[in-house]
Amino acid sequence: MLGVFLAIPLILAVWGFALPAQYGNTFVGELPAKRALLAAESDKPRLILVGGSAVAFGVDSALLSRELPDYQPVNFGLYAALGTRVMLDLSIDELRPGDLVVVMPEQQRQALSDTIGVESLWQAVDGDFSALGCLHARDFGPMLGAFPQFAGTKFRYFLTGAPEPDGVYRCSSFNTAGDVVNPLCSANTMPDGYDPTMPIRFDNAMPDADFCAALNDYTAKAEKIGATVYYHFPPMNAAAVENADNIDAYADFLQTQITALLAGDPHTCVMDAGWFYDTNFHLNADGKTVFTRQFIRDLKAMLGDTSVTEIALPAMPAHRMQTDTKAADNSDAAYFTWESSRLVVNAAGRSRRTLTVPGEVDGRPVTALTPDTFAGCGMLEKLTIQQNVTALSDGLFAQCSALQEITLTQPDPARLSVGQALLDGAPVFCRIRVPAASYTAYCLNYAWSPYAEAIAP
């Protein structure tokens, strides 16, 4: 029996490290290519952009090369859930004298913290495990804890076939400069023009002390190498900003916490919803041109470059998303009530063990659920959410102490926005059921992958 237990770590190690890479075609599977891009020889200093997917979706490296010819652009932005500090750790040893580094994390709590996404990081380093040597020692414990899940899933993919994502979130969406370039990113696809699960706030409590310390340490190391570090705000959807009047005070506070200089005016990074694609930080193709134009002007100002930036502004694309609420099952509509603009479960509904969110209530379409929709539903065990719902808020099920199963009928995870704390407060045994044919798509989706362990077909 002891031999069996001793063999388990060896088997997991073989599955995790010896099997061929299985995540190379996924979105995070781009990390080895980005690391290679960063390590490549260059006959000029580099302009290195570090951050999450806001960087990957947000800049046009070809325009950067044209307008800033003294620098070679390197887009080292990938996925906020990996952790901003992870991207700093993966890039610091590749910096060279004369490099210009712009750190551009999303304006959200996770990106401005010291946390790392261990599940996503294992997938990202699959096939390039040398990246693990760049991590901080404090990351090894969480990474080790997530390894069995990674190894087991990788072995399953080895037997059944490596995941082949479709849509935008796949490795083939990146060009050779590290930018996301996909024809699907042509217009705003969010039902209301913004993602309500991802509010943008400018609060002094947002950047935590460990994040600021990590960024300051990175800046100091870069300066010793002879590189320069700037901080720039990412593109942000104006429709999602909750306290725009605090932007200046927040920027002033942030500058007191970090040693890297702030480049540009954060107000110009708050852009009309029409320039975005599928999240409050992902620009569509035309929005990318608009942001890159302003970004170049900001960098030129920091560098004392007075040359004119001649980039024509495109027309704003039309909003593209439509939601069909007529085809939904409304059999449980009587258990829901509108309270102003919020949909809540009424007294009759709170005694139910099963509920299906309807497509319409009192003639008004249901497209999103707020954190208090299920307040008081302590008896609810099974919930069905139909395709008419396009957004699920953080903490939505916090008061559902008996909830066992959430069934999603939406086959395309990209059409159902979700925050980073959907299951906070829900029972640990609660499972998210998705269409069987969409199981892998949900597990690898940009927004849904943090819930992979709770997702079941």
What pLDDT was estimated at residue 5?
54
* 287 and 368 assigned to the same domain: no
What band does 341 get if pLDDT is binned at 50, 70 and 90? confident
Position 1 pLDDT exceeds 90: no
Position 354 pLDDT exceeds 90: yes
* Tens of pLDDT, residues 323-335: 666 678 999 999 9
- Region 352-360: mean pLDDT is 96
Long-range contacts of the stretch 113-117 (C-beta < 8 A, 24+): 113/83, 113/207, 113/208, 113/210, 113/211, 114/83, 114/85, 114/208, 114/210, 114/211, 114/214, 115/83, 116/82, 116/83, 116/85, 116/86, 116/142, 117/79, 117/81, 117/82, 117/83, 117/450
Task: Tell me the C-alpha distance between 283 and 389, whole Å.
Answer: 23
pTM: 0.89
* 357 and 281 assigned to the same domain: no
* 347 and 430 assigned to the same domain: yes
Instruction: State the pairing for strand pair 360-361/364-365.
Output: antiparallel
* 281 and 415 assigned to the same domain: no
- Region 394-412: mean pLDDT is 94
Residue 190 backbone phi and psi in degrees, to 5 = -80, 135
DSSP conformational letter for 450: G
309 lies in a domain? no
* 354 and 411 assigned to the same domain: yes
Q: Which two tokens stand for residue 392?
A: 């699920």
Task: Tell me the C-alpha distance between 412 and 210, whole Å.
Answer: 36
Task: Tell me the C-alpha distance between 182 and 168, whole Å.
Answer: 6
* 254 and 340 assigned to the same domain: no
* Tens of pLDDT, residues 446-455: 889 889 889 9
What pLDDT was estimated at residue 324?
62
* Tens of pLDDT, residues 6-17: 678 889 999 999
* 254 and 347 assigned to the same domain: no
* 133 and 238 assigned to the same domain: yes
Contacts of 317 (CB under 8 A, 6+ apart): 186, 187, 188, 274, 284, 286
Centre a 10 Å sphere on the Cβ of residue 171 and count the other Cβ atoms it contains.
Answer: 17
391 lies in a domain? yes
Which domain range does residue 351 map to? 333-456
* 388 and 275 assigned to the same domain: no
Nearest residue to 445 via CA among 405, 412, 423: 412
Q: What is the CATH number of the domain that holds 406?
A: 3.40.50.12480
33 lies in a domain? yes
370 lies in a domain? yes
Task: Tell me the C-alpha distance between 304 and 430, whole Å.
Answer: 56
What band does 181 get if pLDDT is binned at 50, 70 and 90? very high
- Token pair 């139910």 is found at 352
- Token pair 């040893």 is found at 93
Q: What is the chain's mean pLDDT, rounded? A: 94
- Region 429-435: mean pLDDT is 96
Position 128 pLDDT exceeds 80: yes
Q: Where are the alpha helices (DSSP H) in 59-175?
A: 61-67, 84-92, 118-125, 140-160
pLDDT above 70 coverage of the chain, percent: 97
* 391 and 295 assigned to the same domain: no
Q: What is the CATH number of the domain that holds 44?
A: 3.40.50.1110
314 lies in a domain? no
Task: Tell me the C-alpha distance between 102 and 117, whole Å.
Answer: 22
* Tens of pLDDT, residues 79-108: 999 999 999 999 999 999 999 999 999 999
- Domain count for the chain, please give it: 2
* 7 and 128 assigned to the same domain: yes
